[in-house]
Amino acid sequence: MTVHITAQTAETQTTRTAGTVEVVQHPSGLPARVAPIPLPNAAVGRVLEAAYAEDAPSGDLTSLLLIPAEASATAELRARVPGVFSGGPIVEAGFRFHDRSARAELLVAEGEPFDAGAVLARVTGRAQAILTAERVVLNLVQRMSAIAALTARYVALTAGTKARIVDTRKTTPGLRELERYAVRCGGGRNHRFSLSDAVMAKDNHLAVLTGGDASRLTGVLRAARERLGHTTHFEVEVDRIEQIEPVLAAGVDTIMLDNFSLDDLRTGVALIDGRAIVEASGGVNLDTVSGIAATGVDVISVGAITHSVVNLDLGLDVVIDRGEADPA
């Protein structure tokens, strides 16, 4: 496998060599990062199918009435504000959903920063189909690019540390695959995708499991660990320093330090001393993330990057190329 790394220039650069891993260098001076793991076509199809069934269940009455079937158009996806792009697969598949002959040209790469006024993509096809597809594509790409942009801010604030920014399950129902892909476009990483993917014992689980008897913690966790297959990850949340050693003794893979102060995070990292992955959670925002990263934790989970974003302002400008409206 060949890896191509581009040099830093005034604009973000991305190699596009077939069969290679793309590596992106941002003008901010942050380290180059591997392009995001692609968004599965099946996920794109499921989301678009549901979205268009909701938005145009019997077709787009306005476009069918006003726009001649033979009219074609070119549309430009333009940024009204700065951001980080995510959603190329949505642009390509979204406009082809109603017109298989539509052509979409992506003008920025996934994860690439853009300025206000930038043209992000250009689409040519049947005018009726472009107008029908417009709102669904915009809704999704606006949200995905907002997530990527916010994630990139968190990643930039942890530069120079080993901490990874990861998402949570606090996602929009039905859009989890798209939103977690957007996190990857912003340079973040993904936590477990669903409840079925890993064991994560949190405070309520532990309360039921131990019956409130802290002395049982190691035993019950070790017994649970022994029932799991060797590939299944086991994470346990703690909210007090004194829980760390009993949890470590059970042989878990990750310990989540929940709502710890910076001093307690440093103490927790020192106690764990490489015997498990250390995740910090709770109280994470743009003002606190740098200090949390500096404590030496391995992972910082941030629910805000998916549940608190404000969609970016993107617009679609359409120009009719040919075909005349029927005055009748």
Residue with tokens 């069969």: 19
Same domain, 96 and 174: no
Is residue 167 a known part of a binding site? no
- For residue 145, tell me if it sits in a domain: yes
Is residue 268 a known part of a binding site? no
- For residue 63, tell me if it sits in a domain: yes
Same domain, 161 and 302: yes
- Per-residue model confidence (pLDDT) at position 291: 98
- Domain CATH code at residue 114: 3.90.1170.20
Using alpha carbons, select from 222, 226, 280 the residue that is nearest to residue 249. 222
| Sheet strands side by side (includes 164-166) | 164-166, 299-301, 277-281, 254-258, 234-238, 199-201
Catalytic residues, which ones?
135, 170, 202, 237, 258
Is residue 303 a known part of a binding site? yes
Q: What residue numbers bound the domain in which 287 lies?
A: 156-307
- For residue 327, tell me if it sits in a domain: no
Same domain, 303 and 160: yes
Same domain, 135 and 166: no
- For residue 34, tell me if it sits in a domain: yes
Is residue 240 a known part of a binding site? no
Q: Report d(CA 306, CA 169) in Å as an integer.
A: 9
Same domain, 252 and 196: yes
In the chain, the number of structural domains is 2
Is residue 11 a known part of a binding site? no
Same domain, 292 and 160: yes
- Per-residue model confidence (pLDDT) at position 319: 72
Which residue stretches of the chain have pLDDT < 70? 1-34, 320-328
Same domain, 279 and 315: no
> Mind listing the pLDDT tens digit for each residue in 218-257?
999 999 999 999 999 999 999 999 999 999 999 999 999 9
Same domain, 130 and 188: no
Same domain, 184 and 274: yes
- Per-residue model confidence (pLDDT) at position 26: 45
By DSSP bridging, strand 103-106 and strand 119-126 are antiparallel
- Per-residue model confidence (pLDDT) at position 321: 57
- For residue 328, tell me if it sits in a domain: no
Is residue 202 a known part of a binding site? yes
Same domain, 231 and 192: yes
Q: Report d(CA 168, CA 97) in Å as an integer.
A: 30
Residue with tokens 């998916």: 306
> Mind listing the pLDDT tens digit for each residue in 196-212?
999 999 989 998 988 88
Same domain, 213 and 249: yes
Count other Cβ atoms within 10 Å, centred on residue 59.
11
Q: What is the DSSP string of 138-158?
A: HHHHHHHHHHHHHHHHHHHHT
- Domain CATH code at residue 213: 3.20.20.70
Q: Which residues contact 103 (CB under 8 A, 6 or more apart)?
A: 123, 124, 125
Same domain, 136 and 165: no
